[in-house]
Chain A
């Protein structure tokens, strides 16, 4: 019993020494759209366990990252919340053209911490709340999708005075979480914890699909960790994590 433990420990140490010495671990800086925060952390951990490479994650809005990358920000990979900005980066000559792919399709949810408050689109139509939180539609795709959905329901004009904007989807979530807004449009990926409050999964026909594209930036083309991370993101382990966080994968809806 003791011996097997010791052997196991020795084997473990041996494997650790082998992996750390045979593969020189590289590091890459990845810019991640805020809605993908939790999933990205889990993927980066799995990526490290498998390859030994370190993906250092920064979280923010796609708009902010786009601006920063055009000004030479030290990122090698961008996991955007839309497809427009990765395409723009390729046009700008800052990203590798054939590296772009949709790693996840986002789902919009209307969410409240109060059980029973959100019943469906009738909750929005009744408008018996004082604050509805969304994220900045100009900079964050989930904000734009929320506006699109409200316009499709023809209630945007009436709801506009009640809207409060977070700079990121994380902040939109936080406004609801702290109770400052009764409800808000958030990403389904943010609601993977224990089911609390009430929610309505906004039907896909009310907004165009939130295609979240990843792209390898030119500065990362020679970085083993960066190319490795993009490849890992396409692989089965990463896809399983992405599905678990409530995203759809390319080709499904």
Chain B
């Protein structure tokens, strides 16, 4: 394995970095959204929920196309990039993180929302009668009870980001070490007829996907047993 290009391992490392950062951001912003979706009685909450779920149905090329325009110098992304002297957020790691967060959001928000909804009002009411503040009840009651949802969301969000291709191809620019992630590297190796490298990465992805789905199933089973 030592003879393989450093390019290959660089793309593996970059992919893990991207997926990890995306997952952390999604847990941070996805949790309050999921909580609100699970508890709110606002009539328009299902509209918000639908917007979040859109990437489940849309081809990645739709998101890729719009991101190419919004991240570019004529869109808001260009303005943000201007803050540190850049021209565009496309072709940057930050741009990929932004795209991945949008793209993987439903995979994180939905399981957490379901887990919050499954708790019901009762445990929180009990906590309230024991004089726990709403915030304290959230931290000590809701979050521990929704643990399987968090686990499922984190695993799915991470896995989905690792598996993303169309979006990265469209806004990434294929820069080694910054935007050349695993799925794009596989595409490249196949195009260049470097099947040995393609095989290693693709085979690794199969094993990874297997492990993810198995983990998910085990988490679910444990959730039911409780």
Contact = CB atoms under 8 A, between A and B. Distances in A.
The reply to whether chain A is a binding partner of chain B is yes
Interface of A: 61, 63-64, 66-67, 130-131, 133, 136, 138-139, 163-167, 171, 174-175, 178-182
Contacts of B71: 180
Contacts of A67: 190-191, 193
B193 A131 contact: no
B93 to A, nearest CB: 13
Main secondary structure of the interface of B (DSSP, over half): loop
Contacts, number: 67
B70 to A, nearest CB: 10
A180 B90 contact: yes
Contacts of B87: 130-131, 180, 182
Interface size range on B against A:
20 to 34
Contacts of A163: 175
Contacts of B191: 61, 63-64, 67, 136, 138-139, 167
A146 to B, nearest CB: 14
8 contacts: A63-B192, A67-B191, A138-B188, A139-B188, A164-B91, A166-B173, A167-B174, A180-B90
A67 B68 CA distance: 28
A139 B192 contact: yes
B203 interface: no
B68 to A, nearest CB: 5
Query: Most B CB atoms within 10 A — which of A130, A136, A178, A181?
Result: A178
Given A67-B190, A139-B188, A180 B174 contact: no
B65 to A, nearest CB: 9
B175 A179 contact: no
Given A130-B87, A131-B91, A165-B174, A180 B73 contact: yes
A179 B193 contact: no
List 10 A-B pairs, minimum CB-CB distance, nearest first: A164-B173, A165-B174, A139-B191, A63-B191, A138-B192, A180-B90, A179-B73, A180-B72, A180-B88, A164-B91
